[in-house]
Chain A
Amino acid sequence: MSNLENVRHSLNVCAVQRKFSIINSLIFASVLMILPVNSWALSDEQSKHLLLRAGFGAQPELLQQVSKLAKSQAVTYLLNQQPSFAAAPSCVNNKLLDRKARRKLSADQRKAYRRSLGKCNREFRSWYLEQLIADKAVLANQMGLFWHNHFTSSLRKVKASKLMYGQHLSIEKYALGSFGKLLKAMVNDPAMLVYLDNVNNSKVKPNENLGRELLELFTLGEGHYSEADVLSAAKALTGLRLNSNYQSQVHNKLHDSSAKTIFAGTTIRSADDLVAALLAHPQTSLHISRAIWQHFISVVDERQVAKLAKVFARDWDIKQLVHSILDSDQFWQDSGKMIKSPVELVVGSVKTFQGIKIPAKRLTKMLSEMGQVLFDPPNVKGWPKDRDWLDTNKYIVRSYLMDQLARAISSNMAVSGAPYCSLKKMASLAAIALPDTQKSKQFDNSMDGSCQQQLTQLVTHPIWQLK
């Protein structure tokens, strides 16, 4: 019971603080009636919520920026940040050897070639992780990860970073651009054609893998197509393969150019026709709108999603769709109710506590143990989402790794001057307040030495996994 009282006590404290800030902002608002821009400025809680969802956590410099703005402006501000990625490791430009060329190699040379591909993949993954940590355009990066998880391809199967890098560039280009263009780019994407076996899809023996996943996962969603539609889609994609330079190309001899019927009445012949038919299908905008909604908000509001989908289908403007979702009431009422992905957890921790230097290799290993290897979703459906990230096993792994991460961060912070060593500062970083008051008694503002302890406690507490 005493535990409960403690919780209640802390809730009361919070309530008092909140009341205080409400009074504060009321005064503020009434004073500023003349200046309507500021009267809608985000509260600290709202700023934090926006950055936890649209970015990777409550980074101090971003908090400062968005807290001056109204909701819609803050969203626009984040949407307009341009990613500034450093050049990828040079090995992604190395020429790939096709089967014929590989056959000419000796066994040792072949082994060396495979090794060089593997080495490049590791460099390429580290590069992406470092970019996510360093880059300031957090929302663009969130959407980049979203699309990598939507139009899944995996380095494990594709094998060559060169191809995955090509896909990454397309995703980066259209992440907040046109979905129509993104879809077309993905259907023709060399990494995708390898990943979903379209390189084996021919007129004589259609391979349905890409056609099926296009319908099931990438556009319409499960339950909105027939087996006949899958076959027609697969046939339209026949012959779409890679040439000797690993660029996508239709091989006319392997392509079935006959007229195929899809969705009971639309005639298609080519991959382009298929993309057009998919974009004309009302389920596509609904499926995509719902998926992006679920990326940012814990509970789907089907009516809202349907409304957004209608607008989305007009011009496929992803930026506008994301803006509408982040500007919705449902978004702002959802704080603390989602669970961070491993990338959000790890990249977010490092971004939030600035100046932390942990080698990318170590962070990559952590991500891998938690189940999220960049460019390597576990299957075509992608990484888990929200609560599905966790079962007891993953909970154990996360607890264990967050202990390690907390230690790495706090030992780093002793050097960097520990700018977070107050109860209030710490509280401004997590999605919700620490509920466990017995432990938070240990929080002590006056003692410098306990700062590391406080930070460790925050990062290892389950609330650090919320967003």
Chain B
Amino acid sequence: MKRRDFMYLGAASGLSLALPKIALGQNTDTPILILIELNGGNDSHNTVLDLSQLSLYKKLRPRLGLEADERVQLDKNFALHRSLKGFVDPWQRGELALVHGLGYPNANKSHFRSIEIWDMASASDQYLSAGWLANVLPKLSSSSIDAMVFGRNSAAFTGGNTQHIQLKNLKSFFKKAKNIDAAGQGSDNSALSYLLALKQNVFDGKELMMQGLSRDIKLKSPFPKSALGRQLEDVAKVIRMQLQIPAFKVAIGSFDTHKGQKNKHRQLLQQLADGMLALRAELTASGHWPNVLMMTYSEFGRRAAENGSGGSDHGTAATHFLMGGRVKGGHYGEYPAFDNLQGRDVVFNLDFRSMYQSVVQQWWLQPSFELASGLESLDIIHRP
């Protein structure tokens, strides 16, 4: 069990009782990335619409396609699902980027394999053991915990030297982790040392959160009561504790809408918008917003055409959102063409790793960070 030295120092010397080093100005704080996993494969064609392809879209989706009153216009060529109408404001303020046509060559349509590809930032036929953020985070901050995952799937952070904790919510974390102490000695037994490493992370996370709690944070904005809303409420609290944790992840689902999609998708997108906008409001009021970036992702998009049961099947390329105080708002990549299907799927235009890599390079100022050679760079972040 190899861990970073200062953690032991912290635990041994009773630093846990001291307040964290609070940076003097917002600018010196570690920039924060919040990953939002749209679990199940979001139907991107019904999330962001390319109005220049409207007639083809309607032909492919006679029942599922969004009517005029089910969408909200963003600009001349694009509209959003009506559930996302709250995104118009950040869009107009230049705080929202739409990254179109994201995917990868030889798309895999298994939920499990494809999310693994996104989490590991691998090629379709490449099997990696470390998540795309597994090694970059420790460089960014001196916090004993580099990432917090609320809810499912922490694969993006595992397999490297990133220390992360995964939890359901803060309340149950405190209740149940109360009696967990430091892990102590490691073990020759690999399974046991795995358990002990988890134990140590829980202990570190608990100590860190205790420091934060001592600052008595009261949120200024109401958060929605959905699962995602609650997760983002906790994220907001931890961000306001100023513990210098560079990354968070939340998840919402299931977007695997094979049947009866319309209603389900409307609800999910509403929860997504409400949650993201509540976080934006809270962190704008607290002054943290310029230092926060939200990014959505999902294992795949869905088929161009609707299926026979009022839903859509597993597909390929999709549009994703970046929202934050320093995002360069606008369109990136190209919306896939409905008249150029491969098999029954749209063709991706932009490697998802371009988005990842650009974010790490520009948001965390790591210009040498590279996920694969020859990836297109998106100029997507304003410098502080």
The 0/1 profile, CB within 8 Å of B marked 1, for residues 296-311 of chain A is 0010000000000000
- Knowing A208-B313, A391-B154, A397-B176 touch, does A465 contact B195 (C-beta < 8 A)? yes
> Of B110, B113, B164, B168, which is in contact with the most chain A CB atoms at under 10 Å from its CB?
B110
Among B180-188, B224-232, B292-300, B355-363, the one that faces the other chain is B180-188
Distance of A223 Cα from B191 Cα, bound (Å): 29
Distance of A463 Cα from B193 Cα, bound (Å): 10
A contact residues around B199 at 8 Å (CB):
395, 399, 462
Check if B263 is an interface residue, CB within 8 A of chain A.
no
For chain A, residues 424 to 451, give those with C-beta under 8 angstroms from any C-beta of chain B.
Answer: 432, 435-436
Check if A200 is an interface residue, CB within 8 A of chain B.
yes
B contact residues around A465 at 8 Å (CB):
195
The 0/1 profile, CB within 8 Å of A marked 1, for residues 166-185 of chain B is 11100001011101100011
Q: Is the CB of B167 within 8 A of A392?
A: yes
- Knowing A337-B191, A432-B192 touch, does A399 contact B180 (C-beta < 8 A)? yes
Check if B264 is an interface residue, CB within 8 A of chain A.
no
> Of B154, B192, B307, B313, which is in contact with the most chain A CB atoms at under 10 Å from its CB?
B192
Q: Is the CB of A339 within 8 A of B308?
A: no
- Knowing A393-B167, A399-B180 touch, does A209 contact B191 (C-beta < 8 A)? no
Q: Is the CB of B198 within 8 A of A227?
A: no
Neighbour of A207 across the interface among B177, B185, B195, B258, CB < 8 A: B258
Distance of A394 Cα from B168 Cα, bound (Å): 9
B contact residues around A205 at 8 Å (CB):
307-309
Check if B47 is an interface residue, CB within 8 A of chain A.
no
A contact residues around B205 at 8 Å (CB):
392
Distance of A403 Cα from B309 Cα, bound (Å): 47
User: How far is the CB of A156 from the nearest CB of chain B, in Å?
Assistant: 12
User: How far is the CB of A206 from the nearest CB of chain B, in Å?
Assistant: 8
Distance of A336 Cα from B173 Cα, bound (Å): 28
Neighbour of A197 across the interface among B149, B201, B259, CB < 8 A: B259
Q: Determine the interface band of chain B, counting residues with CB < 8 A from chain A.
A: 35 or more
- Knowing A208-B313, A391-B154 touch, does A3 contact B167 (C-beta < 8 A)? no
Q: Is the CB of A3 within 8 A of B184?
A: yes
Q: Is the CB of A390 within 8 A of B195?
A: yes
CB nearest neighbor in B for A391? B166
CB nearest neighbor in B for A432? B189
Q: Is the CB of A337 within 8 A of B190?
A: yes
Q: Is the CB of A200 within 8 A of B202?
A: no
Check if B343 is an interface residue, CB within 8 A of chain A.
yes
B contact residues around A397 at 8 Å (CB):
176
- Knowing A391-B154, A466-B189 touch, does A396 contact B308 (C-beta < 8 A)? no
B contact residues around A337 at 8 Å (CB):
189-191
Distance of A223 Cα from B108 Cα, bound (Å): 9
Q: Is the CB of A393 within 8 A of B191?
A: no
For chain A, residues 97 to 145, give those with C-beta under 8 angstroms from any C-beta of chain B.
Answer: none
Distance of A270 Cα from B10 Cα, bound (Å): 66
B contact residues around A62 at 8 Å (CB):
none
- Knowing A227-B343, A393-B166 touch, does A463 contact B192 (C-beta < 8 A)? yes
Check if A28 is an interface residue, CB within 8 A of chain B.
no
Q: Is the CB of B189 within 8 A of A390?
A: no
**Using a Cβ–Cβ cut-off of 8 Å, how many residues does chain A contribute to the interface with B?**
42
A contact residues around B307 at 8 Å (CB):
205, 207
User: How far is the CB of A419 from the nearest CB of chain B, in Å?
Assistant: 27
Distance of A202 Cα from B195 Cα, bound (Å): 48
Q: Majority SS of interface residues in chain B?
A: mixed
Distance of A76 Cα from B164 Cα, bound (Å): 44
The 0/1 profile, CB within 8 Å of B marked 1, for residues 369-413 of chain A is 000000000010100000100111111110110010000000000
Distance of A283 Cα from B173 Cα, bound (Å): 43
Distance of A381 Cα from B108 Cα, bound (Å): 16
> Of B175, B191, B307, which is in contact with the most chain A CB atoms at under 10 Å from its CB?
B191
For chain B, residues 81 to 122, give those with C-beta under 8 angstroms from any C-beta of chain A.
Answer: 108-113
A contact residues around B110 at 8 Å (CB):
212, 216, 222
CB nearest neighbor in B for A399? B180
Distance of A200 Cα from B260 Cα, bound (Å): 12
Q: Is the CB of A396 within 8 A of B112?
A: no
Q: Is the CB of A336 within 8 A of B192?
A: yes
Distance of A209 Cα from B312 Cα, bound (Å): 12
A contact residues around B189 at 8 Å (CB):
336-337, 432, 466
CB nearest neighbor in A for B125? A223
> Of A3, A393, A465, which is in contact with the most chain B CB atoms at under 10 Å from its CB?
A393
- Knowing A4-B185, A392-B166, A436-B185 touch, does A207 contact B309 (C-beta < 8 A)? yes
B contact residues around A91 at 8 Å (CB):
none
The 0/1 profile, CB within 8 Å of A marked 1, for residues 136-174 of chain B is 000000000000010000100000000011111000010
Distance of A391 Cα from B149 Cα, bound (Å): 10
B contact residues around A396 at 8 Å (CB):
167, 173, 176-177, 180, 202
Q: Is the CB of A403 within 8 A of B202?
A: no
For chain B, residues 309 to 358, give those with C-beta under 8 angstroms from any C-beta of chain A.
Answer: 309, 313, 343
User: How far is the CB of B309 from the nearest CB of chain A, in Å?
Assistant: 5
Check if A415 is an interface residue, CB within 8 A of chain B.
no
Question: Can you list 27 residue pairs at the A/B interface with Cβ under 8 Å?
Answer: A7-B185, A197-B258, A205-B309, A207-B309, A222-B113, A298-B191, A336-B189, A336-B191, A337-B190, A337-B191, A338-B191, A339-B191, A339-B195, A390-B195, A390-B198, A391-B198, A392-B198, A392-B205, A393-B166, A395-B195, A395-B198, A396-B173, A396-B177, A399-B177, A399-B179, A399-B180, A432-B192
Top 8 A-B residue pairs of the complex, sorted by shortest distance between their CB atoms: A205-B308, A400-B176, A462-B195, A391-B166, A395-B198, A392-B165, A393-B166, A396-B176
Knowing that A207-B307, A337-B191, A462-B195 are A-B contacts, what are 11 other residue pairs whose CB atoms are under 8 Å apart, sorted by A's residue number? Answer: A207-B308, A216-B110, A222-B113, A381-B111, A391-B198, A393-B167, A397-B176, A400-B175, A436-B185, A465-B195, A466-B192
Residues of A within 8 A of B (CB): 3-4, 7, 197, 200, 202, 204-205, 207-209, 212, 216, 222-223, 227, 298, 336-339, 379, 381, 387, 390-397, 399-400, 403, 432, 435-436, 462-463, 465-466
